A and B are shown apart, each in its own frame.
Chain A
Amino acid sequence: MTTTLQRLLHRQEGRLGLAMAVLLIALAFTAPGFFTAVNLASVVRGMGVLTIVSMGMLMVILTGGIDVSVGSMVAVISVVAARWGNTGAPAALVAPGALLLGAGLGFFNAVLIADLRIPPIVATLGTMGLYRGLLLQWTQGEWVTRLPHWLAAAGRPGRFLMDGSVWAAILVTALTAWFLRRTQAGRSLFRFGGSPIAALRVGIAERRVVYLTYSLMGVLAALGALFYAAQLGSVQGNAALGYELTVIAAVVLGGANIMGGEGSVTGTLLGVVLLGSIQSALILLHVPTFWQGVVTGAIVLLGVAAGAVRRRRPINLRALSGKGSAA
């Protein structure tokens, strides 16, 4: 019995699952409104976009990189899609176009990182300001309050009270899991993040990994952006400001190692669910809006501490050998 528990607690996924269970039981007693179909459905709908974007961030973090331009990319694509759709262009043109634009923005990040050798955090910090600045110049602070009807429909609750973002999130999660587990390209992300030098020696092309990962991140940010616009019903230049930090928090809470090479789809999904249900729970528990940041911050810190306890020893050994081979 104890060994089962120990094994469960050994992994970040296990701890998160337990934390979720405790939270849900506590909520059952303190916030009866939480377990109504309507509320649960709205909690789940609120996680759709975050899940989609977090899967992209998981892949980026697996390679040992980071992408802080995600919030800007979401804003750019949501505004472009809404404005383009409003000109009367068909969904069959706008939606793929938006995804392609996302891939392009992500690819630009990859070029900065792989070809100009700018560290990921600096490169994406730059494009974060660049994409956002260009968007604001283009919109001049104006809101797009009317969405093309196909886009608005994607954000409306339908079957099982779910909207398009939830179905898309399920699909993206399944595809990411398959990609990371079953394809050679997916496996190479882990190898590359674990040790870039070892990856190079076994013939994994660094440039290709970076191009692929950041372009995928862009595509998923674009997909998330479409549903982001659909759910909000209006978009503007300052949309999704600081969204990248929520996304990174979810992935990290899910046990991904920020230095690369470690992380899982299940963990990321649990991270998203934990962050999402806590936001909803805080509202139901009548925690004043102003204090909700304190709770979220404390949870992220706890998650970070829990993750570090688990990996203290293996990381020490790896850092030693990594430094040795690098020098």
Chain B
Amino acid sequence: MSTTLSSQPAGTSTPPSPGRGRAGLAGIHWQPWIVAALLLIFCFYTGWRTGDFWTVINWQLLVQPLAEAGLVSLGMTLVIATGGIDLSVGSIIGLSAVIAAVAAQHGAGGVTVDLIAAGAGLVAGAGNGLLIGWLGLSPILVTLGTMILYAGLAVGISSGSSFAGFPAGALWWGDATWLGIPAPFLLFIAAVLAVAILLQRSLWGRYLLSFGSNPVAARFSGMPVKRSLFAVYAVQGAFCGLAAMLMIGRLASARGDMGQSLMLTSIAAVVLGGTPIVGGMASVAGTVAGVAAFYVVQNGLTLVGVPAFLESALVAVLLLVAVAAGNLLKREP
């Protein structure tokens, strides 16, 4: 069974089996709240230290990259729910952005560029889905390969250069707001609701969690494992394409290597939110808390004047501490 787990934790190779009714949320509802509480304390502390933190413009600027990472993290939540992992997300973002740029170069207009970015992501994700769902290959290995392959394609197509001549229509996502809320953030909220409903209420969501919890049982129960897995990676690809679209809007340029940092951020955000890396359980609320924690903490640390290099180290510590604390809490009962 090569599609089971990406890597087995040393001693804890058996994921706690999910409860029948509540999509296995019973065991992990702790962690999102711990993260959210810590985050709130951090926000008050930062607001007390600097007046720039609670300003409309700071939050408007903050939620744009948060929305990009958030979309990828939502897809990653679904992937990790199945016990898989997607290392190729950064490369898919770069590839989608570059393909959208080529389309813009050939005169594609605003909406077309957006659709092409999302579509390219979908196709790249479907490639992962074919290999993992249909051929039953290991997710970590397949996406390691496609990470190199897609990044290679992106760099090859763009000859390693960046592209900045997007038509104004394609940059709509960068400036559009509704009641002062940036459009990318609204897109993220819509995606959160969609993923939460799919995971908790749809048959597909059930299949994903069941497969993540026990792949052998899922297969023997006659679940459409191949199709479901294929769809997960395709959806993840589409989310990456949308993230590329938002990035193009925000940065007004495209590069083959953009989005590379989102691979680690998205995995870390999902894990920080309490979704176990071994699959079988997932918390969309946790992922939202996790990804918000990363961006708010980074923003706050910058405003307080912590050097940029130390920030990434502190964020890593945050991840380790939160996961370790979650583990210690879980062991009690």
Contact = CB atoms under 8 A, between A and B. Distances in A.
Interface of A: 63-66, 112-114, 116-123, 125-130, 132-134, 136-137, 140-141, 196-197, 206, 210, 237, 245, 248-249, 252, 258-260, 288-298, 300-301, 304-305, 307-308, 311-312, 315-316, 318-320, 323, 326-327
A252 B7 CA distance: 13
A119 B316 contact: no
A255 to B, nearest CB: 12
Given A122-B271, A130-B320, A245-B148, A305 B137 contact: yes
B264 A129 contact: yes
A304 B156 contact: no
- Please report whether the interface of chain A is mostly helix, strand, loop or mixed according to DSSP: helix
A248 B144 contact: yes
Contacts of A315: 1-2
B259 to A, nearest CB: 14
Contact of A297 (B131, B150, B328): B150
A301 B131 contact: yes
Given A112-B320, A245-B144, A65 B2 contact: no
A310 to B, nearest CB: 11
Contacts of B152: 290-297
Contacts of B271: 122
Nearest to A115: B324
B277 A311 contact: no
B142 A128 contact: no
A167 B193 CA distance: 58
Nearest to B152: A293
Nearest to A112: B320
Contacts of B315: 129, 133
12 contacts: A117-B12, A118-B327, A122-B323, A126-B323, A127-B320, A196-B8, A245-B147, A245-B148, A258-B140, A290-B152, A291-B152, A294-B156
A137 B310 contact: yes
| Range, interface on chain B | 35 or more
**4 shortest interchain CB distances as A-B pairs:** A293-B152, A297-B149, A133-B313, A129-B316
B312 A297 contact: no
A206 to B, nearest CB: 5
Nearest to B268: A125
Contacts of A113: 9-10
A119 B12 contact: yes
Nearest to A246: B148
B320 A118 contact: yes
Interface of B: 1-2, 4-14, 17, 85, 87, 131, 135-138, 140-142, 144-153, 155-156, 158-160, 214-217, 264, 267-268, 271, 276-278, 307, 309-317, 319-320, 323-324, 327-328, 331
Nearest to B5: A259
Contacts, number: 215
A296 B151 CA distance: 11
A270 B314 CA distance: 39
A238 to B, nearest CB: 11
A122 B309 contact: no
A290 B144 contact: no
Contact of B313 (A66, A137, A294): A137
A241 to B, nearest CB: 10
A300 B142 CA distance: 8
Contacts of B9: 113, 117-120
Given A120-B9, A294-B156, A316 B1 contact: yes
B138 A290 contact: no
B309 A136 contact: yes
- Please report whether the interface of chain B is mostly helix, strand, loop or mixed according to DSSP: helix
Given A133-B309, A290-B160, A305 B135 contact: yes
A308 B135 contact: yes
B319 A126 contact: yes
Contacts of A327: 14, 17
A113 to B, nearest CB: 5
A293 B14 contact: no
Contacts of A123: 320, 323
Given A117-B9, A118-B323, A137-B310, A258 B316 contact: no
B131 to A, nearest CB: 7
Given A133-B312, A140-B309, A252-B141, A65 B7 contact: yes
Nearest to B214: A323
A67 B309 CA distance: 22
A296 B327 CA distance: 38
Contact of B10 (A210, A249, A297, A304): A210
A117 B277 contact: no
Given A245-B144, A259-B4, A319-B215, A293 B316 contact: no
A238 B205 CA distance: 40
Contact of B138 (A133, A210, A308): A308
Given A136-B309, A300-B145, A301-B142, A126 B267 contact: no
B121 to A, nearest CB: 17
The CB with the most chain A CB atoms within 10 A, among B136, B271, B309, is that of: B309
B201 to A, nearest CB: 28
A64 B12 CA distance: 12
A258 B7 contact: yes
A26 B138 CA distance: 30
Given A120-B9, A301-B142, 13 more contacts: A114-B10, A117-B10, A126-B320, A129-B312, A133-B309, A141-B309, A206-B11, A248-B144, A249-B145, A294-B153, A297-B150, A300-B149, A308-B136
B145 A297 contact: yes
B10 A134 contact: no
A127 B320 CA distance: 8
B217 to A, nearest CB: 8
Nearest to A237: B309
Nearest to B4: A319
